[in-house]
Amino acid sequence: MKSTIVAVINQKGGTGKTTTTINLGSALAKEGKKVLLLDLDPQSNLSYSLAVTAPEATLADVFLGNQSLKDILVEKDGLWIAPGSNDLVDIEISLVSQPEREKFLKNMLADVKGFDYVLIDCPPSLSVLTLNALTAAQEVLIPLQMEVLTLQGLDQIMNTVNKVKKAFNPKLKIKGIVVVMFDIRRKLSQEVLEYLRENVKEKIFDSHIRLNVKLAEAPSFGKSVINYDASSNGAKDYMALGKEFLNAH
């Protein structure tokens, strides 16, 4: 079985990448899929949010060649996690001067088998780590907040994806845009969404993720929102997204 590798990217900070990686991953696992989450962000928010706080080894060790990816995986609540580390900052710096620097993650993933989905939580930059994610992935998922500057940010993401496509990964495709932290009562949110629908050719998922405090609370319990409070809007929205994701091509 070949895994579908999905890079969750947005170069802007705090746009719901980590929340989407965890909770979409959790939703896919509830749908019976075997899911691996890669914490490629030196901030390690994903690992902390799932209470993987002192792993024996992390992705940084794998980049250094001291560990193989399959040996560092940690299981939590039916999800598999490749923990991140602040040491990824050093990896990032050292990668810049390496030949074929964009291919490290792709090569690392070659020895991981048996997953339906691998979701990569990227750092808030279009750095060499994100470049590695885009080179390893078949698909890109973009969580987007409905703000005025969203549109400019989206252009930058598309430019980067197109460059990576041309240079390193011709089959890379945009799976879609996920509207996150959506405030239904706010007129601006509706307007930006309408503008996007009219002007962007990429798929915009119908399942919007509403603003929901349970999504912000869940990490302090080390759980996905679905395992923390299955009846919350956050859990319902991500479960709906999971179903739509599985049916989208």
Ligand X SMILES: Nc1ncnc2c1ncn2[C@@H]1O[C@H](COP(=O)(O)OP(=O)(O)OP(=O)(O)O)[C@@H](O)[C@H]1O
Q: Which residues bind ligand X (CB under 6 A)?
A: 13-19, 41, 43, 45, 124, 180-181, 209, 211-212, 215-216
- From candidates 8, 10, 16, 18, binder to Mg ion by CB under 5 A: 18
Query: Does 175 participate in binding Mg ion (rule CB under 5 A)?
Result: no
Are 10 and 153 spatial neighbours (Cβ–Cβ below 8 Å)?
yes
Residue 63, classified by CB atoms within 10 Å of its CB into exposed (0-12), middle (13-18) or buried (19+), is: buried
Q: How far apart are CA 10 and CA 144, in angstroms?
A: 8
Task: Choose the stretch contacting Mg ion; rule: CB under 5 A; options: 40-48, 79-87, 100-108, 226-234.
Answer: 40-48
* Closer to Mg ion by Cβ: residue 18 or 227: 18
Q: How far apart are CA 218 and CA 68, in angstroms?
A: 30
* Closer to ligand X by Cβ: residue 103 or 243: 243
Task: Choose the stretch contacting Mg ion; rule: CB under 5 A; options: 18-26, 108-116, 131-139, 236-244.
Answer: 18-26
CB atoms < 10 A from the CB of 125, how many?
16
- From candidates 12, 17, 106, 208, binder to Mg ion by CB under 5 A: 17
- Minimal CA–CA distance to 52: which of 73, 21, 27? 73
* Closer to ligand X by Cβ: residue 174 or 215: 215
Q: How far apart are CA 205 and CA 103, in angstroms?
A: 30
Task: Choose the stretch contacting Mg ion; rule: CB under 5 A; options: 9-17, 54-62, 100-108, 133-141.
Answer: 9-17
